[in-house]
């Protein structure tokens, strides 16, 4: 995966979560499935998406939440 | 918060390597133990093929402990066991000694701390319990309180081996059963008896409707709208008050001081010894919450324990004893009333009926 | 320090012989200001017969999705000390072994940065520090890491694995449960700290069928020691036991497969029929020992009742030669787990534990997907109903499907 | 008479020691023309490996909705003799007892007006006359009635009840199964001949737990003999058996409740723990007999697999004092059946057997509706899951619900 | 048809009063029997408290019999048993004699008729079977043929008591299981393996759509339209070939000579003696129809019987024997392959898994 794709991927993840704020709680697994589909032409794999999520959470752009199950969200 | 900018945060170190915490005798005899002998309800010895011995002294703990409690243990360990100790899977403390002569002084010091010595062999084991009103938002009863009330009353059963086999009691404060309730000799379970109250605004803002609907074991939650927005309604006749909806949706609280309480379960088992592992079965459907000491709960547990002690054969677990004498006799001896609630009407309930003419008359 | 709140109900629980959690909370309150308000709020719960905590929400340390259970009081004005009262789960060492040094280090952290209250241990196996404010989480985490401890699991992730004392202090252990637990936990750190599963997933490792970790009832993946060869018998010691115990009634008579017999000539066991239940060995530990060809039975799926009822784990791999695989860093086992998780990821839905999923899609299909053979050891009996979904058939042109 | 069809495959089945149904069909063909074509059609089935019958449709005698199973060949041109080949079900006498006179009367009817083929008996218990043309049905019915026989059940109706030989020739019978079967069948003639149920309903009466009618597997309502008092023991005879059999292994050791013991002083039974399984009595019929306070356990719901899987009957009434009730013409029992049918009528759906219905609506609700108490004898164990639908609760004003 | 106009038709006479058919000795000793003794696999005596005795001589029957067969029996009864006889619940014939000296001549006459003497005690009992291709429209195999082939081969097991306990074999030609298949020691069951073929015109004219849909155990039948009229379609992947739809709707035939056949089941039991009644369990998922003698089916049944005979303890039924040695060993000894089909995936299948670490290694 190129750095460019990686940046796009991370952007797409954040945007998706932003778009559905208060509508849907994205479980990390949902994100993986969504992004694998969205970036299939770029050959993005499950591990790529996981790495992107890790980047986003390590940097604090996304945080984890819990409500009976874990989900990703924007920092409060 | 320390400034970590510029430095890479260290993560994923995982659990500490256990080797650093093993007593030298244990290190040397790891995997070589030959047999053990229970010397008293509070201590046992394990003997190695090499002839080495390790003594374990077991002490009861309330599990919810202060830093000072841990420091007390550390001081004792330093004094008698070279600083080595462990906890058991049921939250007892075990001091590991290689010197037999240290056992008695250690025990004396433990007594001075008013800690119980026991828990080994055919005793009432320490109660596996949960958070309750101390820390959990879904608790229908309190874990630490019921546990304390029970263990006060059953104290001699912990310190002396008076029973046909070990009796494992568990408590959980709600149907999530964080622990051992579903497979214990005797279990106490916090329960609700009224459906969730719907807080439509909270539901609208905080809850995912599909996962809320999916959370219900009896399909009692149905889609609805509130101010034109997706919401839920409840078919109250179908609700079994499990609280799973509240776990995923904070807009559906169930607590109701008038109707919350506990149920009592018996005959579960985890080990594979003799009989297969089995679930705890309903004995008493409901007893009210009666803090601080829940006397009716203590009495019900005592009733079961007495009946078991009087009726069971040596080595027979509670469930094995009941299976041998039959459930009708269990209800008869304990005086608990058998009701329609005892008949399993859930998913696999059919499998629990008596499909035979084998009936004691 | 004087008590802030009157607690007549809780004070009742300071009486009695069993060590009192109330006393412990009071001792903790001596160290930590926030803890006094815990007494107040819990007293109110005792009075009103209901809890006063709210849902947890978004609490954690940076980069991790688990290890912290967020908790907020619903009476923060009245009890400001417990406004934020989170729990930090710390992954315990295998077998719950400690030295006094390391324990003091742990409580130094909690006494300074939290309520000075702990669970030794949580039901899953973690050490728990109760009563942590959001602002203290990172500090506590950093300090734990500094002496080689890490957080445990929570949320939709791998949960903290645990094991029995095993070979460290038990003659019944058929494999090195503590080592396997440590190795597997280290191998799956990512799955533990960064929730990616549909729901929680638990491992428990027990050295023998006594299952002192209750793995068969409380782990999605239960690893239970067993053996392939014969029970080792010391006939002289059997005779000693015979003097004290009615072996017919209490040993051979209770053998689930009735594969033992005892008479003047000694104890005989038809080991091909022994189901490794441990009973006879439990009763006569000085006379009997498990065989030397130790291994493991792998079972799958146990859990608490939500949503479809409680489950015990069922046999997935009757015998796994763990000693052999340990030489390869448990690679076969890790691959198997990988396949299970992949299947779960592919076919499971949110908040569906692996045991529930397998039941829903059918065990046969699951086995095919993860590449295991169906075996009679997996069932207590074959099907008793005729609704078989045959997949093979013959076409009119003689072609087989 | 020469054979109309070549039957090389069926001829194979005339060989061998067991009496041959093919030979029987040939013997019948000597009496009845239509039967020759049966041989032809069945031979074709053997060749093609498939049947050649069509659904039954609307066949019966006037006023009755059952007792006849209509059957038509799907090759009527080729085998005109079996164009119509219905079965007449005749309600057998209790215990399947006959005299040669009455049997001859029955076969006189079938030999003259049908194929001369019979089942002694159908699986439900009826005598069956096979191969009846529609035009012969009324004649056969009239003739049967003329010597006191009537049709049995079919369709959505009460099916022909049956019973074991019971007190007529069995020392194990705990009640008069033959009498009860006769009485109940006579009482419910209307339900038998005029289908008004959702689906079939079967009774079977067995004199003891050996259940020689297989009632627990094949009757919606199973009536199985039991007793309330002690097993009668002839200790001298026990000693005789002890010379031939290892009582520990084969008698006391197999007792399901382990309530027996045997030593020099004789056989001891803790009758309060005896579940009346019959085993010990079966093995030593000269030494042991059931008690004298005979009665019945009533069980409910067994059936074949369609639609929700096979079922055995479950305990409904642990002990019914049938001897007492027999004095009132089994009125209590008939009332109970009435309540069950009423509930089934009210809540059941089409083609739903009573066992399936009860499972669907919940046993607790069913018991309430028919006025029976829930009892621990009904379950093998109480519920193991916490999903209890509590109906009682307290209102804020202290009112109890 | 006789003219019944003007006269009242007699109906509802019910079954004939059995008293008229009871042997005088039976009448006199009704309810007074004290014990019985099995004198040979073909005859037994029941002794009354009065000292009276009744001898029963048991004879095998193919169940599907001609009028001539019945007349033969009647002649024998007249000659030896005062005309009294009965049938058993497994379709054997029993002559009831009060004269011991009549037993041998009766048996000789029975032998002359080439009828089997036996069926009492530890034998293979007469096979409970069904209609098959002789009379039923849903048969996937033939009942009389398989039964005859089996009994020819097992003849000595019927006439001599060579087994650890009685073995009850059942046959049913389709999943309706008209008889004892679901609870027999050994059972043979006719099965289909292809979904129904849809005959839309027949479905439209002859079938009730809702009840057709409701008939499916796996919900594989869904509503559809055909020429604008209500009809059904089938989700083939979900069909378990049970034939229940064909029972209610003649427009959905399943017969398929290429794929129909039988499955073999073991270990069921009805009596309450020792162990509770239990269902037969799947042993061999499929064997093809191979008329006239179904050799593979006979061989499979023989395999089970031999293994049982060699392995079981005295008095142990087939299912009890298997439970004692364990299913893995059963499959191992018989050489039958264990497949995914053996794992119960139907409604209550979960209850049949091995939830224990009790595993023979
Ligand atoms: C220390 C501990 C393991 C650990 O890693 O921490 C442990 C240690 C031993 N267990 Fe255990 N068991 C421990 C929890 C368990 C559990 C889990 C639980 O209780 O939650 C079980 C399964 C419980 C169940 O079946 O429901 C368990 C089922 C057994 C059994 C099987 C008993 C039975 O007959 O069913 C034995 C054998 C025996 O006791 O004869 C056994 C035997 C033993 C022996 C004798 C093994 C040995 O040779 O050292 C140890 C001392 C026995 C004792 O405590 O009486 N251990 N043992 C755990 C102590 C818990 C405690 O503090 O009370
Ligand atoms: C802390 C602990 C109880 C304790 O006092 O020890 C605990 C506490 C909670 N459990 Fe648990 N569970 C704890 C061990 C268990 C166990 C036992 C085990 O792991 O051996 C179980 C049963 C086994 C199982 O996994 O099924 C358990 C089954 C549940 C469930 C039901 C899951 C299910 O599939 O049925 C829930 C509900 C959920 O996940 O939504 C739950 C949920 C919870 C939550 C997070 C409440 C919630 O709904 O959000 C509780 C947080 C309480 C708090 O405020 O601290 N907890 N929970 C245990 C974890 C401590 C640790 O990490 O060591
Ligand atoms: C004749 C007989 C088999 C035999 O060869 O003996 C028989 C024959 C038929 N049975 Fe049966 N059943 C016969 C005893 C049974 C039994 C055994 C019993 O009664 O002890 C059962 C199992 C117990 C039970 O009732 O569940 C039985 C369970 C069925 C079923 C499945 C019912 C269910 O709920 O699962 C059906 C299908 C249906 O009812 O739609 C059925 C349907 C049929 C039909 C009517 C076929 C149909 O789908 O329309 C068969 C007519 C065959 C024919 O052409 O003669 N038959 N049927 C038995 C009745 C003779 C008699 O009256 O004495
Ligand atoms: C004649 C008959 C009753 C009737 O009204 O027709 C009958 C008669 C007797 N049965 Fe039966 N049973 C008869 C069908 C059954 C059935 C039903 C069936 O097979 O379909 C069963 C239940 C089958 C099952 O469990 O699957 C049955 C389970 C028993 C048992 C229990 C055996 C066990 O250990 O499980 C006994 C006791 C014994 O054999 O020791 C028994 C015992 C007896 C005794 C010894 C009772 C007595 O004291 O007279 C009779 C002779 C035994 C024999 O045949 O070996 N009878 N018996 C039936 C003969 C059927 C046949 O021709 O083969
Ligand atoms: S059992 Fe329920 S209330 Fe108690 S800690 Fe677990 S989730 Fe919370
Ligand atoms: S409490 Fe349980 S049963 Fe009731 S609505 Fe909520 S999820 Fe459903
Ligand atoms: S599970 Fe077995 S090996 Fe582990 S501690 Fe318990 S008895 Fe010992
Ligand atoms: S371990 Fe269990 S099954 Fe094996 S011989 Fe001992 S008691 Fe029997
Ligand atoms: S069921 Fe009992 S009473 Fe009836 S024939 Fe069989 S053994 Fe005798
Ligand atoms: S009848 Fe059965 S339960 Fe009763 S004593 Fe005899 S063997 Fe035991
Ligand atoms: S089993 Fe099936 S095919 Fe055979 S008679 Fe019964 S309904 Fe007909
Ligand atoms: S054969 Fe059975 S499973 Fe298949 S469609 Fe018909 S009813 Fe459904």
pTM, 2 dp: 0.97
Identify the domain containing residue D320 by its residue range.
Answer: 162-226+296-378
Per-residue burial over C277-298, b if 16 or more Cβ lie within 10 Å, else e, is bbbbbbbbbbbbbbbeebbbbb
Find out whether D95 and D164 touch, Cβ atoms under 8 Å.
Answer: yes
C-alpha–C-alpha distance, residues C249 and B316, integer Å: 12
Tokens standing for C297? 């039975």
Ligand 6 centroid from CA C61, angstroms: 32
- Whether residue C318 lies inside any domain: the answer is yes
Ligand nearest to the CA of C166: 7
C-alpha–C-alpha distance, residues C99 and B81, integer Å: 10
C-alpha–C-alpha distance, residues C271 and C290, integer Å: 11
Residue E133 DSSP code: G
| C126: Cα separation from own chain's centroid | 10
Mean pLDDT, rounded, for C202-225? 98
Residues D236, D213, single domain; the answer is: no
Find out whether B130 and B169 touch, Cβ atoms under 8 Å.
Answer: no
Say whether pLDDT at D58 is over 90: no
Find out whether E285 and E199 touch, Cβ atoms under 8 Å.
Answer: no
C-alpha–C-alpha distance, residues B349 and C91, integer Å: 38
Residue by residue, DSSP assigns E217-230 as TT--EEEEEETTEE
When divided into structural domains, chain D yields a total of 3
Find out whether E361 and E332 touch, Cβ atoms under 8 Å.
Answer: no
- Whether residue C398 lies inside any domain: the answer is no
Say whether pLDDT at A28 is over 80: yes
Say whether pLDDT at C399 is over 90: no
Which of B67, B180, B242 lies at the smallest CB-CB distance from C28? Answer: B67
C-alpha–C-alpha distance, residues C308 and C355, integer Å: 10
| D225: Cα separation from own chain's centroid | 15
Say whether pLDDT at B1 is over 90: no
Find out whether C129 and C118 touch, Cβ atoms under 8 Å.
Answer: yes
| Contact state of E272 with B351 under an 8 Å Cβ cutoff | no
Q: Which residues of B touch C349 (CB under 8 A)?
A: 214
Residue A16 DSSP code: H
Find out whether D217 and E183 touch, Cβ atoms under 8 Å.
Answer: yes
Nearest Cα to C24, choosing from B89, B298, B96, B73?
B73
Find out whether B356 and E272 touch, Cβ atoms under 8 Å.
Answer: yes
Give the pLDDT confidence of D116-143 residue by residue, as tens digits: 999 999 999 999 999 999 999 999 999 9
Say whether pLDDT at D1 is over 70: no
The Cα diameter of chain B in Å comes to 80
CB of D384 within 8 Å of any CB in chain C?
yes
Determine the Cα angle at B346 with ends B340 and B349, to 5°: 80
Residue by residue, DSSP assigns C142-203 as HHHHHTT--B---SSSB---EE-SGGGT-TT-SS-HHHHHHHHHHHTHHHHHS--SSS-B-E
Which of B177, B327, B355 lies at the smallest CB-CB distance from D381? Answer: B327
- Whether residue D385 lies inside any domain: the answer is no
Q: Which residues of B touch E353 (CB under 8 A)?
A: none
Name the domain boundary from C114, C146, C178: C146
Mean pLDDT, rounded, for D213-232? 98
Name the domain boundary from D97, D114, D146: D146
Name the domain boundary from C243, C264, C289: C289
- Whether residue C202 lies inside any domain: the answer is yes
| Contact state of A29 with C345 under an 8 Å Cβ cutoff | yes
Find out whether C141 and C91 touch, Cβ atoms under 8 Å.
Answer: no
Residues D139, D239, single domain; the answer is: no
More confident residue, B100 or A43: B100
Q: Which residues of E touch C277 (CB under 8 A)?
A: 358
- Whether residue D2 lies inside any domain: the answer is no
C-alpha–C-alpha distance, residues C52 and D176, integer Å: 66
Q: Which residues contact C183 (CB under 8 A, 6 or more apart)?
A: C326, C329, C330
pLDDT for the residue C191: 98
**Mutation choice for ligand 3 from D300, D304, D359, CB with most ligand atoms inside 8 A:** D304
- Whether residue D384 lies inside any domain: the answer is no
Mean pLDDT, rounded, for B159-170? 97
pLDDT for the residue B4: 47
Banded pLDDT at B2 (limits 50, 70, 90): very low
Residues C106, C212, single domain; the answer is: no
Residues D167, D58, single domain; the answer is: no
pLDDT for the residue E6: 52
What domains does chain A contain, in order, with CATH numbers? Answer: 3-73 (1.10.10.10)
- Whether residue C358 lies inside any domain: the answer is yes
Determine the Cα angle at E87 with ends E83 and E88, to 5°: 145
Minimum mean pLDDT range among B181-185, C339-343, E5-9, E241-245: E5-9
Residues D207, D319, single domain; the answer is: yes
Mean pLDDT, rounded, for C181-205? 98
Phi-psi region of B75 (alpha: psi -120 to 50; beta: other; left: phi over 0): alpha
Per-residue pLDDT of chain E (361 residues; tens, 9 = 90+): 445 455 688 999 999 999 999 999 999 999 999 999 999 999 999 999 999 999 999 999 999 999 999 999 999 999 999 999 999 999 999 999 999 999 999 999 999 999 999 999 999 999 999 999 999 999 999 999 999 999 999 999 999 999 999 999 999 999 999 999 999 999 999 999 999 999 999 999 999 999 999 999 999 999 999 999 999 999 999 999 999 999 999 999 999 999 999 999 999 999 999 999 999 999 999 999 999 999 999 999 999 999 999 999 999 999 999 999 999 999 999 999 999 999 999 999 999 999 999 999 9
Residues C90, C173, single domain; the answer is: no
Residues C20, C71, single domain; the answer is: yes
Mean pLDDT, rounded, for C108-126? 98
Give the pLDDT confidence of D333-347 residue by residue, as tens digits: 999 999 999 999 999
Residues D125, D200, single domain; the answer is: no
Beta bridge partners of D331: none
Phi, psi of E226 (to 5 degrees): -140, 120
Residues C26, C132, single domain; the answer is: yes
Torsion, Cα C376 E302 D282 D378, to 10 degrees, reads 40
**Helix (DSSP H) and strand (DSSP E) numbers for chain C:** 15, 16
C-alpha–C-alpha distance, residues D375 and E259, integer Å: 48
* CATH number for D246: 3.30.70.20
Q: At what angle do helices C21-31 and C34-48 cross, to 10 degrees?
A: 150
Q: Which residues contact D353 (CB under 8 A, 6 or more apart)?
A: D198, D199, D200, D201, D220, D301, D303
ipTM passes above 0.95: yes
CB of C269 within 8 Å of any CB in chain E?
no
- E strand residue ranges, D209-278: 221-227, 232-233, 260-263, 266-269
| Contact state of D382 with B258 under an 8 Å Cβ cutoff | no
pLDDT for the residue B7: 64
Q: Which residues of B touch E276 (CB under 8 A)?
A: 355-356, 358
* CATH number for C327: 3.30.413.10
Mutation target vs C (from E238, E357, E358, E360; most C CBs, 10 A cutoff): E357
Ligand 7 centroid from CA B38, angstroms: 15
Say whether pLDDT at B5 is over 60: no
Beta bridge partners of D317: D298
- Edge-to-edge strand list for the sheet holding B186-191: B169-172, B186-191, B261-266, B281-288
CB of C385 within 8 Å of any CB in chain D?
yes
Say whether pLDDT at B347 is over 50: yes
Subunits close to A (at least 3 CB pairs below 8 A): B, C
Residues C76, C30, single domain; the answer is: yes
Give the pLDDT confidence of C308-334 residue by residue, as tens digits: 999 999 999 999 999 999 999 999 999
Residue with CA closest to ligand 6 atom 6: B245
Give the pLDDT confidence of C288-306 residue by residue, as tens digits: 999 999 999 999 999 999 9
Residues C50, C96, single domain; the answer is: yes
The Cα diameter of chain D in Å comes to 93
Determine the Cα angle at E146 with ends E142 and E151, to 5°: 150
Residue by residue, DSSP assigns D38-59 as HHHHHHHHHHHTS--EE---S-
* CATH number for C73: 3.30.70.2500
Determine the Cα angle at E147 with ends E146 and E148, to 5°: 90
Residues D315, D354, single domain; the answer is: yes
- Whether residue D247 lies inside any domain: the answer is yes
Say whether pLDDT at D31 is over 90: yes
Tokens standing for D264? 């020099």
- Secondary structure string (H, E, C) spanning C218-264: HCCEEEEEEECCCCEECHHHHHHHHHHCCHHHHCHHHCCCCCEEEEC
C-alpha–C-alpha distance, residues A49 and C196, integer Å: 11
Say whether pLDDT at D364 is over 90: yes
Banded pLDDT at B3 (limits 50, 70, 90): very low
pLDDT for the residue D387: 98
Nearest Cα to E334, choosing from E298, E305, E295, E297?
E305
Find out whether C88 and C114 touch, Cβ atoms under 8 Å.
Answer: yes
Q: Which residues of E touch C311 (CB under 8 A)?
A: 355
Phi-psi region of C129 (alpha: psi -120 to 50; beta: other; left: phi over 0): beta
Tokens standing for E127? 């096979």
Ligand 3 centroid from CA E64, angstroms: 16
C-alpha separations of B333 from B61, B305, B308, B322, B324 in Å: 33, 11, 10, 11, 14
């Amino acid at each position: 995966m190129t750095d460019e794709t990686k940046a796009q991927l991370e952007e797409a993840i954040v945007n998706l979560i932003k778009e559905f704020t208060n509508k849907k709680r994205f479980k990390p697994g949902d994100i993986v499935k969504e992004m694998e589909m969205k970036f299939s032409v770029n050959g993005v794999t499950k591990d790529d998406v996981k790495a992107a999520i890790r980047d986003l959470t390590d940097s604090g752009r996304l945080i984890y939440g819990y409500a009976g199950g874990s989900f990703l969200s924007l920092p409060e | 918060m320390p400034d970590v900018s510029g430095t890479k945060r260290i993560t994923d170190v995982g659990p500490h390597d256990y080797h650093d915490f093993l007593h030298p005798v244990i290190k040397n005899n790891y995997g070589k133990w030959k047999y053990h002998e229970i010397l008293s309800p509070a201590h046992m010895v394990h003997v190695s093929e090499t002839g080495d011995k390790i003594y374990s002294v077991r002490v009861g703990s309330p599990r919810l402990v202060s830093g000072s409690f841990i420091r007390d243990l550390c001081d004792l360990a330093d004094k008698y066991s070279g600083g080595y100790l462990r906890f058991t899977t049921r939250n007892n403390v075990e001091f590991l000694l290689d010197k037999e002569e240290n056992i008695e002084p250690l025990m004396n010091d433990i007594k001075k701390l008013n800690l119980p010595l026991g828990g080994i062999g055919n005793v009432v084991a320490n109660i596996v319990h949960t958070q309750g009103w101390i820390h959990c938002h879904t608790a229908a009863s309190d874990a630490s309180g019921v546990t304390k009330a029970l263990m006060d009353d059953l104290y001699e059963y912990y310190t002396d081996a008076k029973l046909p086999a070990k009796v494992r009691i568990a408590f959980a404060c709600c149907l999530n059963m964080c622990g051992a309730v579903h497979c214990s000799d005797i279990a106490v379970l916090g329960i609700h008896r009224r459906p969730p109250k719907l807080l439509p605004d909270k539901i609208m803002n905080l809850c995912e409707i599909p996962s809320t609907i999916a959370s219900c074991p009896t399909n009692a939650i149905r889609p609805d709208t509130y101010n034109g927005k997706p919401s839920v309604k409840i078919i109250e006749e179908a609700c079994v008050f499990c609280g799973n909806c509240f776990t995923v949706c904070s807009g559906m609280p169930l607590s109701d001081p008038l109707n919350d309480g506990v149920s009592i379960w018996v005959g579960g088992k985890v080990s594979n010894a003799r009989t297969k592992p089995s679930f705890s079965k309903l004995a008493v459907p409901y007893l009210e919450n009666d803090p601080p000491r829940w006397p009716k709960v203590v009495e019900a547990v005592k009733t079961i324990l007495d009946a078991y002690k009087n009726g069971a054969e040596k080595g027979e677990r509670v469930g094995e004893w009941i299976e041998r004498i039959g459930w009708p006799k269990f209800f008869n001896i304990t005086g608990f009333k058998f009701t329609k609630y005892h008949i399993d009407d859930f998913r696999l309930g059919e499998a629990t009926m008596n499909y035979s003419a084998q009936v004691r008359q | 320090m004087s008590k802030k709140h009157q607690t007549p109900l809780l004070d009742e629980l300071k009486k009695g012989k069993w060590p009192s959690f109330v006393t412990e909370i009071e001792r903790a309150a001596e160290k930590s200001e926030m803890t006094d308000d815990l007494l107040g709020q819990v007293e109110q719960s005792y009075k009103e017969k209901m809890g006063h905590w709210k849902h947890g929400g978004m609490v954690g340390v940076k980069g991790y999705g688990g290890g912290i259970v967020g908790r907020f009081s619903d009476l923060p004005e009245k009890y400001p000390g417990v406004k934020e009262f989170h729990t930090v789960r710390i992954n315990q060492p295998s077998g719950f072994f400690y030295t006094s040094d390391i324990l003091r280090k742990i409580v130094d952290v909690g006494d300074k940065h939290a309520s000075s209250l702990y669970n030794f241990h949580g039901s899953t196996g973690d050490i728990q520090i109760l009563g942590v404010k959001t602002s203290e989480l990172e500090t506590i985490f950093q300090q734990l890491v500094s002496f080689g401890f890490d957080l445990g699991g929570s949320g939709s992730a791998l949960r903290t694995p645990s094991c029995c004392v095993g070979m460290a202090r038990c003659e019944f252990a058929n494999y090195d449960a503590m080592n396997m637990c440590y190795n597997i936990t280290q191998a799956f750190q990512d799955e533990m700290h960064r929730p990616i599963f549909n729901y929680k997933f638990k491992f428990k490792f027990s050295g023998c069928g006594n299952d002192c970790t209750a793995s068969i009832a409380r782990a999605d993946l239960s690893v239970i020691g067993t053996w392939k060869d014969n029970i080792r018998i010391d006939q002289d010691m059997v005779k000693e036991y015979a003097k004290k115990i009615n072996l017919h009634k209490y040993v051979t008579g209770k053998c689930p497969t009735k594969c033992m017999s005892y008479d003047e000539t000694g104890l005989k066991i038809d080991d091909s029929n022994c189901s490794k239940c441990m009973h006879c060995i439990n009763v006569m530990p000085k006379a009997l020992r498990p065989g030397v060809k130790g291994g493991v039975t792998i079972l799958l799926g146990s859990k608490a009742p939500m949503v479809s009822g409680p489950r015990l784990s069922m046999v997935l791999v009757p015998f796994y030669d763990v000693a052999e695989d340990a030489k390869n860093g448990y690679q076969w086992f890790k691959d198997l787990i990988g396949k299970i998780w992949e299947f779960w990821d592919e076919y499971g839905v949110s908040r569906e534990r692996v045991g529930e999923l397998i039941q829903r899609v059918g065990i046969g299909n699951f086995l095919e997907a993860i590449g295991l053979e169906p075996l009679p050891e997996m069932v207590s009996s074959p099907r008793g109903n005729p609704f078989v979904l045959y997949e093979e058939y013959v076409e009119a042109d003689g072609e087989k499907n």
